[in-house]
A = this chain, B = another copy of it.
Amino acid sequence: MKYIEKLRNSGLRPTKQRLQICEVLFDTQKTFHFTINELDQKIKNKTNNKISLATIYNTVHAFEKKGYLKQIPINSNQTYFDTNITDHHHFYDLKYGKLIDLENSDVGPINIKRKIDGKKIKSIEVLVKLED
């Protein structure tokens, strides 16, 4: 399988569970946003195998640490993750609690004029809240 090498290269053993999660997360053309519970549902639907919730948390965090997923900074009762790991931004539909990708080209360059001593900029993320 194509994910075995990817996992090995990251120092992660290619277990059955991790490979299944990879298929759900990365076998699609379009990237998407998800919560842990939504991912759990997707896995249940796609396969007959049930993966322990603890394993899903562990795997998502491992993938995030390796840079295969991004966490989206937003206030919600659940953490949102993104399979789109390119630099990009988000619309947040307050009514439906849905995220929509906003490409860098749709925002234009952001030039942070202020500097903080001894610190480097790791990321710049724009959240555009939408109402009716």
Contact = CB atoms under 8 A, between A and B. Distances in A.
B131 A120 contact: yes
Nearest to A80: B75
Contact of A114 (B102, B110, B113, B123): B102
A121 B94 CA distance: 10
Contacts of A75: 71-74, 79
Interface in A13-38: none
| Chain A contact patch, size range | 35 or more
B116 A112 contact: no
Given A75-B74, A79-B75, A119-B93, A112 B128 contact: yes
Contacts of A97: none
B116 A100 contact: yes
A62 interface: no
Contacts of A113: 105-108
Interface centre among A114, A127, A132 (most CB of B within 10 A): A114
Contacts of A116: 91, 93, 100, 130
Nearest to A100: B116
Contacts of A129: 121-125
